[in-house]
Amino acid sequence: MTNPKNAVPPLSLTAELTHRCPLHCPYCSNPLELLGRDSELDTAAWRDILTQAHEIGVLQIHFSGGEPLGRRDLAELIEHTAGLGAYANLVTSGLGLTESRLQSLVDAGLNHVQLSVQAADAATADRIAGTRAHHHKLIAADLIRRTGLPLSVNVVLHRENHDQLAAIIAFAEELGADRLELANTQYYGWALQNRSQLMPTAEQLAAAEPIVQDALLRLKGKMQIVYVIADYPEKYPKPCTYGWGARQITVAPDGTVLPCPAASAIRTLQLENVRERSLAEIWYESSSFNAYRGDDWMSDTCRTCDRRELDFGGCRCQAFLLTGDAAATDPVCHKSPDRGVVDLILAEPRRTGFVMRSPSR
């Protein structure tokens, strides 16, 4: 095997076991063309992926989706992960999590649960989820805490729930979260489709800052808070994770291997499938993983910039989605010749009325 870009071994793999999900959140990061059950990999294929991943250095598996609880073989896959000595993390809506189901996952070797929460109150949360989801969160959090597993609560922030940020933090405390991730919506997949409806106002973002700062101080040592900022209003872009093809692999439900969960948006990328090629070959040799490694691909704007080692030119998926060129400087950057695109979006009048996530027909 060759390693033309001197890539280092990957650390984590996100296993998108399924796109099926009982929720219809309008900011879902899954692609607009959701895969159905009939295109999903079977248990043996997933076991093989986990083994291959571990052999090339992956130490952490994030079981995600869709809703991973929708897969009957979840416990078996967690058991396989634990048997390899890797860390198993479950990213779930909590719907379908019964006491016996959770116990089977804990017995299999589950290490950590990330539970999504849509809002602080049932009416708002259920409207965002497009189904009665909120009361399940209380039950799920209680079950998780009783197993002794650490619990993270994940909340996606947008215009419809930003004003209840303080109440959301209080709700996470009530749920007994060890860690709370408050992530402003990033615009990919369904979130991009609903960008105008989701985008918070400048006033909301300004009001959030002191609330987050207060909570960070007040809850230090008790509940860790991670606040992911909205990138559009910023002067510099968010980094492309730890760099393209540097640490992470995502495997979609049908076996497509992605350098990042949003990468299917980049239509110019020749994505490969683990049904056809080994994970090691895809990681080290594929054109998709090598496309944006290093800095040869960068525009002059990025290649001559001191921040290129910090943000890697920003998000490749966002560059493609907003400029049509995945190698362009992320247009959030004030040095980007395309920054005007982002400023126009920020200045647009905001629409209302979500396009809810639903299977393609």
Partner 1 sequence: MTPRIRRGVRLSHDAVRNTPVILHPEGVLIPNATASAVLALCDGERSLTEITDLLNARYADVRPEQIRDLLDRLADKQVVEWT
CB of 223 vs partner 1, minimal distance in Å: 11
Of the candidate residues 81, 89, 154, 336, the single one contacting partner 1 (CB under 8 A)? 89
Binding mask 112-151 for partner 1 (x = CB under 8 A): x-x---------------------------------xxx-
Which residue has tokens 């248990």? 43
Q: Which of residues 92-111 bind partner 1 (CB under 8 A)?
A: 111
Which of 64, 81, 152, 336 is the binder for partner 1 (CB under 8 A)? Answer: 152
Integer Cα distance of 215 and 180 in angstroms: 11
Residue 60 found at the interface with partner 1 (CB under 8 A): yes
Does the footprint of partner 1 cover residue 179 (CB under 8 A)?
yes
Helix, strand, or coil here: 338?
coil
- Least distance to partner 1, CB of residue 111, Å: 6
Helices and strands (DSSP H and E) totals, the chain: 15, 10
Nearest to partner 1 of 60, 131 (CB atom): 60
Least distance (Å) between residue 11 CB and partner 1: 5
Binder among 22, 52, 87, 196 for partner 1 (CB under 8 A): 87
Q: Does 9 bind partner 1 (CB under 8 A)?
A: yes
| Closest to 140 in 3D by CA, of 78, 88, 95 | 95
Q: How far is the CB of 57 from partner 1 (least distance, A)?
A: 4
Please identify which residue in 32, 59, 167, 183 interacts with partner 1, judged by CB under 8 A: 59
What's the Cα-to-Cα distance from 354 to each of 99, 131, 201, 346, 347, rounded to whole Å? 33, 14, 17, 18, 19
Cα dihedral 137/358/273/84 (nearest 10) = 10
The C-alpha angle 10, 150, 48, rounded to 5 degrees, equals 35
Q: Does 238 bind partner 1 (CB under 8 A)?
A: no
Asked if 85 is part of the footprint of partner 1 (rule: CB under 8 A), the reply reads yes
Strand, helix or coil for residue 110: coil
Tokens describing residue 213: 């700062």
Report the alpha-carbon distance of residue 270 to residue 291 in Å, rounded: 10
**224 contacts partner 1 (rule: CB under 8 A):** yes
On whether the CB atoms of residues 296 and 223 are closer than 8 A, the answer is no
Interface with partner 1 (CB under 8 A), residue from 210, 221, 349, 353:
221
Q: Could you give the 3-state DSSP secondary structure of residue 257?
A: strand
Binding-site ranges for partner 1 (CB under 8 A) = 9, 11-12, 55-57, 59-60, 85-87, 89, 111-112, 114, 148-150, 152, 178-179, 221, 224
